[in-house]
Chain A
Amino acid sequence: MALDGPGFDRAYRAHSARLRAVAYDILRDRDAAEDAVHGALMRVWSAGAYRPERGALLPFLIACVRREALDALRTSKRRHLREVRANAGDPVASDDTAAIDPVEARRVKRALDDLPAAQRDIIVRAYYGYRTLAEVAQDAGVPLGTVKSRLSAALRRLHTALSEGSP
């Protein structure tokens, strides 16, 4: 298989843009975001952590980058920047047109809106607010176990909704 064929650059740019967006949104710093993407990729390569039976590659890499960036966030002084942002309003209400994939962003946000309010509240706090589970429990005033089960249910429901709605 040719690795340098047509679409190579486009595929690389498209995928790396997604990974960088994930890291940047968490860390709010270009250098730190690049480091997180780099760190996650190196970890995946060096450990041979990916196998095709594990699922699609891009979602897997996105999850790896997110873990890497969250670790960097939790161990850095950038924390306070997140605190500011987490209190700055409803992040899901942000401009769709700024998203990497505006069409997909609108579709996902519609699916989020269709979630039961309690589930949507938890997933917004945890995903867009970058709160730990304990912080979400405290902020939302619900037990930790409830946060976990709601988050799990929300993500499964979201997946079902988006799979049904896919063209």
Chain B
Amino acid sequence: MNHLDDDAELYALGLTERERDAEIEAHLATCADCRTRVAAAEEAAASLAATLPAMPPPRTAAAPARATARRRAWWPGLASAAAVVFAATAAFEGMSAHSASSQLARTDVALNAIAGSHFGHTTLTSVPGVVAKALYARDGSWLYVVATGAPRGAHVVLRRSMHVTPKGTHVTPDAGATAHPDAAVVDVGVLESGEPATLFVRDVGRAGDIAIVPNGQAVAHAVAHGVPAY
């Protein structure tokens, strides 16, 4: 494929056709010259972004419930996960967006680990009224579960091994585990109350299955369940 030429700048500005974008990213993966050119263009575009006013704060008066309220409720929880990524950029703090030479030098190990391919996320299959999502480190070093509508005090339970439940199918817990929780079932903690309710746990290992279970209930009564794709 030829070099990107003018498309390098147009891409940085979001003005290329979306069908073209995949080709551009594929080319960038193999062409250092075009990566440099696009990175420079993105820095210039980021400088333009510095001229924009901040998003205004929400109106503080009790606003009427909005149709998008539940969907929006994801953000406060996910912001915590976003913070993990942004923490990796702390090295860039105080640095203007166009000192290109120093930026790569300051890129550190955390940036590689976190902003790279090491995240996964999955929406859990859930009972009506519950919406739940899991974000997880692909190496099993942490797990973040966020849920709306889950019963207060619900637990997050992982199963190391279980018969494989294809994504999107119904919960099909194995009877042995539900009746007699054994070593294969790990209770990693209680969802902290809030809307959404959240739980962040470290060093959980890779789970075969993630389930949200009402307090005192068996895994068979999980209100949400999903299989992370490590």
Contact = CB atoms under 8 A, between A and B. Distances in A.
Contacts of A3: 84, 87-88, 110, 114
Chain A: interface secondary structure?
Answer: helix
Chain B: interface secondary structure?
Answer: helix
14 contacts: A1-B108, A15-B89, A47-B117, A59-B39, A62-B45, A63-B12, A63-B13, A63-B42, A67-B21, A109-B51, A123-B48, A155-B9, A156-B44, A159-B40
Interface of A: 1, 3-5, 7-12, 14-18, 20-25, 30-31, 33-35, 38, 41-42, 44-60, 62-63, 66-67, 70-71, 92, 94, 96, 98-101, 104-105, 108-109, 111, 123, 126-127, 132-133, 148-149, 151-152, 155-156, 158-159, 162-163, 166-167
Contacts, number: 241
Given A34-B72, A66-B13, 10 more contacts: A15-B86, A55-B39, A55-B43, A57-B115, A62-B45, A100-B54, A123-B48, A133-B10, A151-B10, A163-B99
B41 A12 contact: no
Interface string B95-136: 011111001100111111011111111000000000000010
| Range, interface on chain B | 35 or more
A125 B224 CA distance: 48
Contact of B38 (A18, A31, A55): A55
A46 to B, nearest CB: 6
A92 B48 CA distance: 10
Contact of A98 (B47, B53, B109): B53
Given A20-B54, A52-B104, A62 B42 contact: yes
A101 to B, nearest CB: 5
Interface string B67-82: 0100110110011001
